[in-house]
Structure 1
Amino acid sequence: MNNNNETQKESRMNITRALIIAEPWIGKILNGEKDWEMRSTHTSISGTVGLIAKGTGTVVGIAEIIGSKGPLSHEDMLGNVHRHGIPSNMIESGEVAKWNHAWQLGKLKKLSTPVPYQHKNGAVTWVTLGEETQKQLQAELAGEDWLQEGSAPQPAEPAAPKLAYTAPVRVATGANEGEVVITQGNLNNNHIYVRNVVELFPPECFGGSNRRELASQLITLHLDKAETVKCDIDGTKKIFRDRRAIGQFLKLNNFVANDKVLIKRIADLEYELSKA
């Protein structure tokens, strides 16, 4: 049995092809922000493949394709933004309507050093990798244990929150509320730091650095002039994970740098956000 497992592992470490993915999607995959690569057709290809950043001439990651799902309905697309990473406004506009098949990714490895490959004329989606590139990718996987059999990715156990955060911009104004100063970086990246009001939130609401490490407990955010959403907190960056909803909240309330957000705890695991 062990010999069979080793044979399977060696076979799966022999990466003969790579998938070409454009920005910003390749970046989102490598950062753990999406695990569905959207395409216009189904794929029968599965197993370990290289990931190419389009236009760079290099393989920048390695992943397992564990399934292909689709065509997805409009509602399915809107309900799975956290999996495919396409903003809801792009879905609503119809500009990505043809990209309705999800190529599902499982295990992932981001390469510390991109590996060059020879791009053949006419290659648009897949590239057959040369022998030297295959050897370099196989060396990257030497000793790795992630090439075990798996199914659809499941949220990992939440990482313990790191409470050694940076010095607060402003201390909390009370046991059940606090104010946070909005920076230009917050506005540019659709997030709100909760570093200085972290005591308002229970530890189980803090997850890891990406969507595969969701917290065990979600919180409800009632966003003034925007929608009510459930999400957790990125325990590394100390931000609410649902950037789309936060961006909507900041925009609809006309926030500019140095404005303040008032965060109120109104019930267990429920919070109200408004402009201070």
Structure 2
Amino acid sequence: MKGLVIRSPWIDHILAGKKTWEMRTRATSIRGRIALIKAGSGLIYGTAELVECKPALDLEQLRATQAFHAIPVSGIDDAFANRWTTPWVLHDVRRFARPVPYKHPSGAVTWVDLPTFQADPGWADSTPSVSVKEPPPARQPPSTGEHWRPQHRAEGPWVDIRLTEGNLRNNHFYLRTAESLLPSDCIGGSNKSDLGRAIRVTFEPGPSIECDVAGDKMILRARAQVRDFFERSGSRAGDMLRFMRVGEREFLVVRSEPA
């Protein structure tokens, strides 16, 4: 196994589930489970799956994806100037109940080879910092006036939603199956005189916005931005859309590959 050396506070944010993108100045070809090492400590604090590297972000993208990299707004310009713009995407973060020592090589390094290291399941906390379990299918009753088909209930951090012609025509998608992911106070009434408390939604591709959920239909009230996302992503009827929770009040909307 390889260990990635990460400075504080970034490793702390990763272990706490507050960020899933570790920002670096260049991409890496390494994939799979890696150890998470706190810089200067000589200790392994957990493990994670390094699943992909995204292309380097421009300044606007860096600002729009703050929910994923957790760089403070006040530090984003400096991060961009210093080229900390390439996201290394981490999934299934497992924090150890007690850090594990290792022998660090001399000098400053990014990666440490750990040829004999194997994470003992007993070292991990009882729950992972970030869970990416795919929720199993579940049944639910149909809603009046809506064509129903089985979808995934939200038992992990996301739910997959199949788009219909009606969704594309009316610039919305239903969040009924994602209700357990949403804070209850974000669900408002049927019109703008009865708004819920805003959540932050990032469309990929597209901008980050703040809006509430119209409770009568359980859709995002920001239909113009949903239409823009459909156009940018080339969404069609039958495509799967993934609605993912990435923070307490922060969500990501992307097209999902079919299961």
* TM, length-normalised to structure 1: 0.48
Decide which structure has the larger Cα Rg and report it: 1
Are the equivalent residues in 2 in contact too, given 1:117–1:130 (CA < 8 A)?
no
Any unmatched runs of 5+ in structure 2? 135-154, 160-178, 189-195, 200-208, 214-247, 251-259
1:72 aligns with 2:73: no
> SS of the residue aligned with 1:23?
coil
Structure 2 CA distance, aligned partners of 1:17 and 1:203?
Answer: 36
Are the equivalent residues in 1 in contact too, given 2:55–2:86 (CA < 8 A)?
yes
> Hey, what does 2:97 align to over in structure 1?
112
> Hey, what does 2:38 align to over in structure 1?
53
> Hey, what does 2:218 align to over in structure 1?
none
> Hey, what does 1:42 align to over in structure 2?
27
> Hey, what does 2:183 align to over in structure 1?
206
Structure 1 CA distance, aligned partners of 2:81 and 2:38?
Answer: 20
Q: Report deviation, 1:231.
A: 7.7
One-letter amino acid matched to 1:98? R
Are the equivalent residues in 2 in contact too, given 1:37–1:105 (CA < 8 A)?
yes
Q: Report deviation, 1:220.
A: 2.2
One-letter amino acid matched to 2:95? K
* Count of residues paired in the alignment: 157
Q: Report deviation, 1:87.
A: 1.3
> SS of the residue aligned with 1:91?
helix
Q: Please, which of 63, 71, 80 is the counterpart of residue 86 of structure 1?
A: 71
Are the equivalent residues in 1 in contact too, given 2:97–2:123 (CA < 8 A)?
no
Q: Please, which of 86, 101, 107 is the counterpart of residue 86 of structure 2?
A: 101
Distance 1:44 1:157, change over 3 A: closer
Distance 1:69 1:204, change over 3 A: closer
Distance 1:56 1:141, change over 3 A: closer
Q: Please, which of 219, 242, 249 is the counterpart of residue 197 of structure 2?
A: 219
Structure 2 CA distance, aligned partners of 1:114 and 1:17?
Answer: 16
One-letter amino acid matched to 2:183? F
Structure 1 CA distance, aligned partners of 2:58 and 2:80?
Answer: 14
Structure 2 CA distance, aligned partners of 1:47 and 1:122?
Answer: 25
Distance 1:91 1:204, change over 3 A: closer
Are the equivalent residues in 1 in contact too, given 2:44–2:101 (CA < 8 A)?
yes
Distance 1:17 1:204, change over 3 A: closer
One-letter amino acid matched to 1:47? G
Q: Report deviation, 1:108.
A: 1.0
Structure 1 CA distance, aligned partners of 2:180 and 2:51?
Answer: 33
Structure 2 CA distance, aligned partners of 1:79 and 1:130?
Answer: 38
* TM, length-normalised to structure 2: 0.51
Structure 2 CA distance, aligned partners of 1:63 and 1:204?
Answer: 23
CA displacement, residues 237-265 of structure 1 (integer Å, 9 cap, x when unaligned)? xxx747xxxxxxxxxxxxxxxxxxxxxxx
**C-alpha root-mean-square deviation of aligned residues, in Å?**
3.9
Distance 1:216 1:124, change over 3 A: farther
Structure 2 CA distance, aligned partners of 1:122 and 1:203?
Answer: 47
Are the equivalent residues in 2 in contact too, given 1:39–1:103 (CA < 8 A)?
yes
Are the equivalent residues in 1 in contact too, given 2:56–2:85 (CA < 8 A)?
yes
Are the equivalent residues in 1 in contact too, given 2:5–2:109 (CA < 8 A)?
yes
Identity %: 31
1:186-197 aligned at under 5 Å gives the runs: none
> SS of the residue aligned with 2:13?
helix
> SS of the residue aligned with 1:71?
coil
Q: Report deviation, 1:157.
A: 5.5
CA displacement, residues 75-104 of structure 1 (integer Å, 9 cap, x when unaligned)? 110110000001122113556541010000
Structure 1 CA distance, aligned partners of 2:48 and 2:74?
Answer: 28
Distance 1:205 1:118, change over 3 A: same
